[in-house]
Chains A and B, each alone.
Chain A
């Protein structure tokens, strides 16, 4: 019935969304691309077309590539324990005899709600030198002989960044893995039990393979999110670590554009970063598809 007449209402209803969407989401993306091919003078506000020179300068910059490497390192330091902890806790929480599941999941999830800025500040205070809470706690327990300078030891600074991100996110992953666990039919487990499989075998032979899709999803979202880390490293140790150990690529872009006022160069960095993130996501999707096929052929 009167579909034609109703159509125009639909257009009317989506106009506010698309007006804002085009103005503040789409236009800036293309404007960034345009800026990346220009040299922008922050004083005279003049734009000068410079072709690919911003990209050329970026690709030749050691600082940029070291920030890319930092990002990947911090991401790896955070994602590996994150997945192990989240998987272990989800599997335990999935057992029937555990009490207080919802309360525990809520506690694990809470760090995820806090502003990354606050987390960065909090971890700076906790891992302070010589008198942060961690140093005080560990020296009083006798684990450290003397206070450790987390900030000015390159790999320790990265590790603290990774720990902060892991701490923020593992509870979030628990919820996803739990949803995956709930979607596995109990029939499979009952059949396995009848066949005499013990709890360990049920976990490794049934649960883990069936969790693959959800683990893949977590990996991919974690690549997209993890390679964009910005707020926590910016706040951690005031951004000033030994040899910029915690300067990530998005932080590098931010500094180029908004501290050195090189908009063109920063925009070139933004597009390069997006390509790097896209490439990593693609690799992990292909890798998983390839592995999945190998497994099916073997079976």
Chain B
């Protein structure tokens, strides 16, 4: 009798635990659905005609994708913006990695006068709100007659404060001094040391920072908006934003197609590199936490 009672108490406890787990799983899944819903609306919307989008909520994809696509292309040549964005993001990422790693290496492995002060200076500027210099930047670029060129968008990629900080931290613990000293004794030149010892040792950090830089550049909006006003030079976000203001808010289908095209590369990168991205943020969290 007592055995039975304890059994049923056990069963009840287990039932309660399962119920609790099921409820918590439901919370997790509902939030995942909330994250996913706008993408779903975008995917389905891009295949429906404007009347359907505007009048009813339907999860059934339509067959108007090509119509929407063609209307969007008539409005703006989105692929030109796509190519511009890719080009800028690749060049900027390469420059950022090469020069930030070089700077991080200097701060990590050399003892030079002013090292501490300069590094603190970089960290302080990193904390300043980004819009503080926007107007000065625009006026400066305009004074230099560099509006509607890519130079003012490319050169700043060399000075990425966060990347320098990240690479310095990585090298402090990840690259033994003995390796560099041995190379020096063997008569290896400083530049060769950087290229053939330091950079290869930083593989993982370069990939991580590279993915983040690429995404950051792909999404960059304010500076390209200010610097570029020729349609041929515009990057994808600027072009997308201009479709909207030019066209009013009426052409839902075409806009969904445009959004889809801008999100697609991120989806691909995130599927391939999601582990790298999540780790990088976790590193940031560990540093700060």
The interface of chain A, by Cβ under 8 A from chain B, is: 1-3, 6-7, 9-11, 13-14, 16-21, 23-35, 85, 88-89, 92-93, 95, 97-98, 102, 104-111, 113-118, 121-126, 128, 130-131, 133, 136-137, 140, 167, 171-172, 175-176, 178-180, 183, 213-214, 217, 224, 227-228, 230-231, 234-235, 237-238, 250, 253-254, 257-258, 263, 266-267, 270-271, 273-274, 277
Contact = CB atoms under 8 A, between A and B. Distances in A.
A1 to B, nearest CB: 7
B35 A270 contact: no
Nearest to A99: B25
A31 B136 CA distance: 5
Interface string B91-134: 00000000110110111001111010010001001011111111
Contacts of A21: 122, 125, 158-159, 161
Contacts, number: 270
Interface stretch (B7-15, B66-74, B202-210, B259-267): B259-267
A41 to B, nearest CB: 13
B145 interface: no
Interface string B136-155: 11111000000000001001
Contact of B129 (A175, A234, A274): A274
B35 A167 contact: yes
A263 B55 CA distance: 44
A128 B45 CA distance: 13
A122 B259 contact: yes
Interface string B274-289: 1001100110011011
A213 B288 CA distance: 9
Interface in B231-287: 237, 240-241, 244-245, 248-249, 252, 255-256, 258-259, 262-263, 266, 270, 274, 277-278, 281-282, 285-286
Contact of B136 (A27, A105, A111, A274): A27
A175 B111 contact: no
Nearest to A30: B136
B222 interface: yes
Given A28-B133, A130-B54, 11 more contacts: A16-B103, A17-B99, A31-B139, A107-B35, A109-B277, A113-B266, A115-B218, A124-B249, A131-B54, A167-B38, A179-B285
Contacts of A14: 102-103, 106-107, 118
A104 B28 CA distance: 8
A34 to B, nearest CB: 8
